[in-house]
């Protein structure tokens, strides 16, 4: 009877502690007599129940996976310029590691050399870090207070960025969307290229950002420019997941932006959309028809198949998000791209985020102060004003700004000029 009494608690312990203990207990059966502290075994019997509660929380083994991603894409704040030594400290590596990465870009540097933000961000990206531009408050203390009454907020167009692998038809999809737009309104070929443009479906506009690759998207986000509302991830049905696909997913998730998947090239004979869905589901993008929340649309940019369905789903997503802005404020926006035009001088394509831009208004963007001489829409036509979520090209800049620079209409021209001069002076001192 005593032996049976001993065996009973042992059986319970075996159930809680697993197979490893069974193997140990099967061999040392005689040794079981020694643990006379059967009394000690009884307390554990009381403790055997709590482990049942503690085991489930310990079970979330997925915790190491996010920690790995966080380590790969750790966020680091740096200034407009940073020495190699300081960058190495922030990226947790030896200065020689930074110098080696710079050599890949064809730059010979020493430990004390100063790098600008764009170059430092490229090095950080190679080493698995995300960088964010940190600017002292003294550089940003140009704020003109305005009363932003929520009663004045009105629905605005969604701003969409199309991302994906370079060979998966991203550009073709952008062209297909714009061709339908051009055909509807101009009955001609595609007009000028602009970094952002609008398409219309059932009378509702959608603004698309045609940024040159993921680097521009990262640079804008690093500068605090949260422009995009929705990301369309383009994946080829005949090619599947690529490194750039995963990179795009990471950028969208880091920015907190919903993803809509466009499975392109479904007209190909070797297209396997279900395999693409399965692969993306493994990356966290579970399709709606599989019980998830990610919208999937099958398209063929080449034949124009599914384009209208894609646009309708984007509008549906935008309705759920209830995107609004106040057009009565002074205009503010973000530079999408910029260039130097021989005839018109420095030009900047930007998206208006709030308020309204008007011809003749004074503005400040990055280091530069100027006045809006002309506004052009995405079809190259002159317009007098631009409302929220509208892509527009601005003429009247003194120099070429950087993508991601904030653009704002000002009331106090004198103060804006002073701030512009201060920023330019600081930039020269650093260079």
Question: What confidence tens digit (pLDDT) does each residue in 309-333 have?
Answer: 999 999 999 999 999 999 999 999 9
Average pLDDT, the chain: 77
- Least confident residue range of 194-203, 278-287, 312-321: 194-203
Rounded to an integer, the average pLDDT of 139-147 is 60
Evaluate whether 169 touches 368 at the Cβ level (below 8 Å).
no
**237 and 350, same domain (yes or no):** no
Please check whether residue 145 lies inside any domain of the structure: no
Write the CATH number for 77.
Answer: 1.10.10
- Least confident residue range of 24-38, 322-336, 404-418: 24-38
**164 and 282, same domain (yes or no):** yes
**Residue 295 scores a pLDDT above 90:** yes
Predicted confidence at residue 47, as pLDDT, reads 45
**203 and 75, same domain (yes or no):** no
Bridge partner list, 297: 262
Please check whether residue 371 lies inside any domain of the structure: yes
pLDDT confidence band for 220 (50 / 70 / 90): low
pLDDT confidence band for 69 (50 / 70 / 90): very low
For 411, residues 6+ apart whose C-beta sits below 8 A from its C-beta are 144, 330
Here the tokens at position 353 are 């985020």
Q: What is the separation of C-alpha 201 from the centre of its chain, rounded to a whole number of angstroms?
A: 25
Render 205-219 in DSSP notation, one character per residue.
EEEEE--SSHHHHHH
**253 and 312, same domain (yes or no):** yes
- Distance (Å, whole) CA 334 – CA 386: 13
- Least confident residue range of 59-63, 186-190, 253-257, 298-302: 186-190
- Distance (Å, whole) CA 312 – CA 262: 13
**317 and 348, same domain (yes or no):** no
Please check whether residue 249 lies inside any domain of the structure: yes
pLDDT confidence band for 302 (50 / 70 / 90): confident
- Distance (Å, whole) CA 195 – CA 413: 29
Q: Which domain holds residue 256?
A: 157-322
Render 30-97 in DSSP notation, one character per residue.
GGGGS--THHHHHHHHHHHHHHHHHHHHH--TTTHHHHHHHHHTEEEEE-SEEEHHHHHHHTTS-HHH
- Distance (Å, whole) CA 333 – CA 220: 12
Burial 148-167 (b: 16+ CB within 10 A, else e): eeeeebeebbbbbbbbbbee
Closest-CA residue to 367 (of 415, 422, 409) = 422
- Distance (Å, whole) CA 317 – CA 323: 10
Please check whether residue 63 lies inside any domain of the structure: no
Predicted confidence at residue 165, as pLDDT, reads 78
Write the CATH number for 350.
Answer: 2.40.30.10
Evaluate whether 290 touches 319 at the Cβ level (below 8 Å).
no
**271 and 170, same domain (yes or no):** yes
Query: What is the percentage of the chain residues whose pLDDT exceeds 70?
Result: 72
**100 and 161, same domain (yes or no):** no
Which H helix or E strand runs over 421?
Answer: helix 413-430
**Residue 18 scores a pLDDT above 70:** no
Predicted confidence at residue 214, as pLDDT, reads 55
Please check whether residue 222 lies inside any domain of the structure: yes
- Distance (Å, whole) CA 421 – CA 431: 15
How much is the pTM?
0.66
Domain boundary among 322, 352, 375: 322
Rounded to an integer, the average pLDDT of 225-235 is 86
Predicted confidence at residue 144, as pLDDT, reads 63
**286 and 426, same domain (yes or no):** no
**305 and 337, same domain (yes or no):** no
Please check whether residue 23 lies inside any domain of the structure: yes
Into how many domains does the chain fold?
4
- Count of CB atoms situated within 10 Å of the CB of 194: 20
Predicted confidence at residue 105, as pLDDT, reads 84
Pairing of strands 129-133, 74-78: parallel
Question: What confidence tens digit (pLDDT) does each residue in 366-408 have?
Answer: 888 889 999 999 888 999 999 999 999 999 999 999 888 889 8
Please check whether residue 300 lies inside any domain of the structure: yes
- For 284, the 3-state DSSP assignment is coil
For 409, residues 6+ apart whose C-beta sits below 8 A from its C-beta are 330, 331, 332, 355, 357, 358, 361, 362, 363
* Residue in this structure with the two tokens 């920023």, named with its chain if needed: 423
Evaluate whether 246 touches 282 at the Cβ level (below 8 Å).
no
Closest-CA residue to 141 (of 335, 293, 312, 364) = 364
**Residue 180 scores a pLDDT above 60:** no
**230 and 280, same domain (yes or no):** yes
Domain boundary among 264, 287, 322: 322
**44 and 94, same domain (yes or no):** no
**182 and 300, same domain (yes or no):** yes
Rounded to an integer, the average pLDDT of 13-26 is 42
* Residue in this structure with the two tokens 């004198």, named with its chain if needed: 414
Question: What confidence tens digit (pLDDT) does each residue in 75-134 have?
Answer: 888 877 788 988 998 888 988 999 998 888 888 888 888 888 888 888 988 888 888 877
Domain boundary among 322, 349, 375: 322
Please check whether residue 247 lies inside any domain of the structure: yes
Write the CATH number for 238.
Answer: 3.40.50.300
Angle, helices 170-185 vs 307-321, to 10°: value is 90
């Amino acid at each position: 009877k005593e032996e049976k009494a001993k065996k009973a608690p042992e059986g319970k312990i075996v159930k809680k502690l697993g197979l490893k203990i069974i193997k140990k207990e099967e061999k040392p059966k005689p040794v079981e007599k020694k643990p006379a502290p059967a009394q000690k075994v009884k307390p554990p019997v009381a403790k055997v129940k709590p482990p049942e509660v503690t085991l489930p929380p310990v079970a979330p083994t997925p915790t190491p996976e996010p920690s790995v991603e966080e380590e790969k894409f750790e966020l680091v704040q740096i200034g407009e310029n940073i020495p190699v030594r300081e960058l190495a400290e922030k990226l947790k590596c030896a200065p020689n590691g930074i110098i080696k990465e710079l050599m890949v870009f064809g730059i010979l540097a020493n430990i004390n050399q100063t790098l600008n933000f764009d170059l430092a961000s490229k090095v950080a990206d190679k080493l698995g870090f995300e960088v964010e531009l940190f600017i002292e408050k003294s550089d940003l203390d140009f704020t003109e207070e305005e009363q932003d009454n929520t009663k004045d907020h009105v629905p605005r167009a969604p701003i969409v960025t199309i991302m994906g692998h370079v060979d998966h038809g991203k550009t073709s999809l952008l062209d297909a969307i714009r061709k339908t737009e051009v055909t509807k309104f101009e009955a001609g070929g595609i007009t000028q290229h602009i970094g952002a443009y609008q398409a219309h479906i059932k009378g509702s506009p959608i603004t698309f950002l045609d940024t040159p690759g993921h680097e521009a998207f990262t640079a804008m986000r690093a500068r605090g420019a949260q422009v995009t509302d929705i990301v369309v991830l383009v994946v080829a049905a005949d090619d599947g997941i690529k490194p750039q696909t995963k990179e795009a997913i990471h950028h969208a998730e880091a920015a907190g932006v919903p993803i809509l998947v466009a499975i392109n090239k479904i007209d190909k004979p070797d297209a396997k959309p279900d395999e693409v869905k399965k692969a993306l589901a493994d990356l966290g993008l579970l399709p709606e028809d599989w019980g998830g929340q990610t919208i999937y649309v099958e398209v063929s940019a080449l034949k124009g198949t599914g384009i209208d369905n894609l646009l309708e789903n984007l509008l549906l997503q935008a309705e759920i998000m209830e995107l609004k802005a106040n057009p009565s404020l002074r205009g503010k926006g973000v530079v999408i791209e910029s260039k130097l035009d021989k005839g018109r001088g420095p030009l900047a394509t930007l998206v208006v985020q709030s308020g309204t831009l008007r011809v003749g208004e004074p503005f400040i963007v990055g280091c530069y102060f100027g006045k809006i001489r002309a506004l052009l829409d995405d079809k190259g036509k002159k317009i007098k004003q631009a409302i929220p979520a509208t892509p527009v090209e601005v003429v009247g800049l003194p120099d070429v700004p950087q993508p991601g620079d904030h653009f704002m209409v000002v009331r106090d021209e004198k103060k804006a000029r002073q701030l512009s001069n201060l920023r330019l002076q600081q930039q020269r001192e650093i260079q």
